[in-house]
Structure 1
């Protein structure tokens, strides 16, 4: 079940506060966490209680309803329903992004409609927050900034993201995430794989097939039965005998392009 709507009532008239309290008691999902009769106290209670909704009188001694809102930080701003005996504040209320504007004495049906608006806005905010968290999570998995929604909606979004920026490899009990742009080439050494990066050479127990499954063949083509290369690091190709070629990387390393993998040469040109 959803958490109750934490609600603060702000009105300088005790009878008005009590009347609203009684009407709100008919709504099971509303929890009144506090009441007060002036703007300064309201600002302090919003900071302390963190209500999700505030019923706010417009005309109060000292700080009126609009001034009260101007003193509440945006990060703490609850949903606002103005409650007043005067209808000429309505435009100003909606300019202040109020959810609704109720006239005193508060009508039960209008109160129900206002709370329904609050529930709808609440659902939209929750959906938006969940979406943002999901996009941030997906971005984190790929080592990227939070994604745009259309990126995350791609059918193979997570797989593609993981392939786009980092290679995840097991090293004993650890999982290493190697930035793809740092990888120069990968080659096999018996039961081990050597991942040659700009900083180091990682040696770990794995298979060529396991690494290939994570890598985009357009960016990391296999050029030999025991070698994968980062295509972006290839600086030069030169032919050799028997249909083979040599690739020179930007670091000076030379790798052989096997005849059986020469169709991959087009990916490097």
Structure 2
């Protein structure tokens, strides 16, 4: 009789969680002990429940799958990790040597079977330590912040000097993901529940609210200048006051943005 594989599912999309649970039902040795809808929940559950296996979505708002892994560095026991991701094959190749397996969304039944076989073999051969060493190598090669700062955020004790902000945005578009370096963003403006990310001559569309977007960015660099506009302060070349109390910012890309009176204190950063 095979030993149950205690399994945790992590994904911010409820339908993805439901679909994966249904596909795992035929596997008698897979025991789903819980689900998590965000990275912070996942770290807490992994530390408390100590699952054997985690199906981990890479791209989640704010605290993504990579941040989950970074926060687990130093733990005595790490679970086996299977990434469930929308990254295309080219991106997957870059991580091929580091995780036990990958499942590309939407998850195919045959690929899931192959992944479970790999999990069973890994557990039988007791190669989890070797697998975790490769995982730590992956984590250390990610452009990340110190573990202490991530831990402080998870415990709710971080102040502005230790808070960690995302160095990149991963933008899904028709099955492909574009990685945008945050430092290269000129400005961001809102269109309903979508953000238009302006980088040079390109504009990327990201489904996100203004509230969540501003929380993901370092306020020392990014500030709202209008209820629907965020600007990269490093991209500002000129500040031009207007008689009605508003002013205009000229960016290095040539764009001119209006600073509304409600956000005029931002101008003080340039004076």
TM-score, normalising length: structure 2: 0.44
Q: Which structure has more helix as a fraction of its residues? A: 1
Compare CA radii of gyration and give the structure with the larger one.
1
Q: Which has the higher contact order (CA 8 A, sep 6+)?
A: 2
